[in-house]
Chain A
């Protein structure tokens, strides 16, 4: 009613203009939330083409690349991770989600502005020596990537010294060690002790199927997480709260 009146009286042209602008903003916000949701949904569905499409739309709509990653891709990956923990999604589907997310990241990353996102935290990640179980570690990398960390992935069966060298060279904020076997886990305290001697900056986190919070504590790790989504939460808490 009021709106119609606005248009009837030229003296209120100014108000009409305000109205139009407000509608534009509303539309933009709507569009923005649609785009972010589109990005998240495409990630969850593992639809690579759609993910790339939404990433491009995000840039066209002037959405900040960092926001698109965090509120689109990352939100999607969190849902994926939750679904895995609940047994609603399995590794093959997650790997497709990962493919979709990385495709979107490729579009968005060149547009990241350090001003909005700050300097990303660096994570050195790998599976300890003697252990080739790397599927879990790859999922952890995925969640760190989705959360905007810079991950240096050392792969699997990583010699103890390599973790320390990489942490020092890269100035890592966090070193994540993965192990699935009791035989290889014993390398964790060795790496952690060396790291403590050589890099007083990096916090350490451990994880992997057969590990437990108690073992993590015995090994002297600063943090432990039972799954990839929790790994990011614990990492953020450790990095804001210090060691």
Chain B
């Protein structure tokens, strides 16, 4: 089990670059900056699900001690990007917050109290009341979904007729509850608008995204906005968009000419920063006697908010990891009076994988074939456009995982055969798959005369280990020892980086870091050797940056100390900056990350309790830049998969259109005892077509497929097919 712990990792003995700050409490998250004159703001939500505000009564609240002002749609400063219905639709911002009297969902922000202290603001917020004109609302996905037809997502491949007489055809329906990201750090913003300059300490996975969006909404120049998200307490997708809490904090700061802090309460975290939408899927699969897949027809519907859309590409995965000669996919969204959904870890694919990977398991039973074998014989050799995979080691993942959990030794193919007292034991498996993307990214390096460098990028680190990866990469590209490499990130004043999402963060950033390292080398050889250095012929690769100076690996030129280079050229510091984009040749290939998940669990015959006993994940994430952090990612995602499979569900009270689970006692995700020690391993083979580091993203594949691995194991234990997530004990007992 123990890639994660026992393997000695070279140069990685003492953890992450920011580790000490995190274990001592020094790391500063968005709400924790000490700004003079800071005012505290608390938002008030609507108490109806649809209608119109007739009147907001703020009189009592205004009288409460410490209150500075209260913003509502009657008195807020105008934000051009949401000032009119037309502007709002154009801006595509999630809500015309405080710019409308319309109510689209329960707990929609209708007012915000700004006060001297948090206690003052919290108390006064409880005194704000509103009268509404209520209108009909719809929050019931199940009731609405049948009235809506699915429509084709892309042109059908082949035809459904080609496989209508297949030897084996199965058709099943699958349901997944609404899930909420709930990073441990509540979203928070400190907005400080002074003399036309706006500083935002904002919890975000994308500082440039926040900067660009806020510039458009407020119609100010991006140059006047600085966004800082140095430490981000988790995101899982909730920090990819700009949300109303950021916008109202800016409004308040502009209005009062004072820095203002808005921190969401945990209940507000359930309604303010997105969720994975509730979904329904129907999947039909056909195969011949030998187990070859002949075709599939995949339909999906998911909930969305009526006031602003969101699409989870649930049927996207269907085109990716298996080879189906015939594919038809259809989707539709069901608009409801609920807050806006958004991408949540493994968006679309995590939902789609539950259907595909479950039905393949069922098919294997019908075929009387091993689920690993059937998968191996149906893996796709090209991406959906027919391009060959640059690298795809899913087959190896499958084999290694099977070996590790003892698939062939321990598992019984007939369900219910392994028992231990009142427990049934079962094994299950499934795979995860994700496009390995890459985007443009810049990076810069500053070098001091003693050879210390600072590598900089605006990329955030939401816990993935971005900073440590930057340090590892710079060390690999340059040779400079790690203790001389400092990292700065999470700030829009730093070189451009895309959002940290979609598992492309590290992949993109490696291009930027590699390019900056190359510029630094070029500049240093130029200063040190001038024309003595023969350009081209891959000579730059021979240049080594040591701790105190530069040398050539083949000793063709004399070593020169940094100090003398800096002195000779009268330099205080040396700065380089470089950009990067995916390579042209990359267009020839398909790129993917993948994983195989294996689960052993037990199900209690009397209570329906499920206990995960073992979980093995083997992932292909290309070259692994930082073993511990990469493993930690996959562990976290796998445990997120346990949550998705067994626990996570947001209920809605359809009589009042209100969310029911709005705290961590009501909405469950795994605690320490809910998960075993997860066994993670990697293929660890580079894909240099993707980027100079050879790394492919790992954030999503860890969760995609996990839920199906678990429900397949539940079937193996009990003979009960669970197609409705989460599988709570009551569902087991009723099945």
Same assembly: no
A residues neighboring B (CB under 8 Å):
none
B residues neighboring A (CB under 8 Å):
none
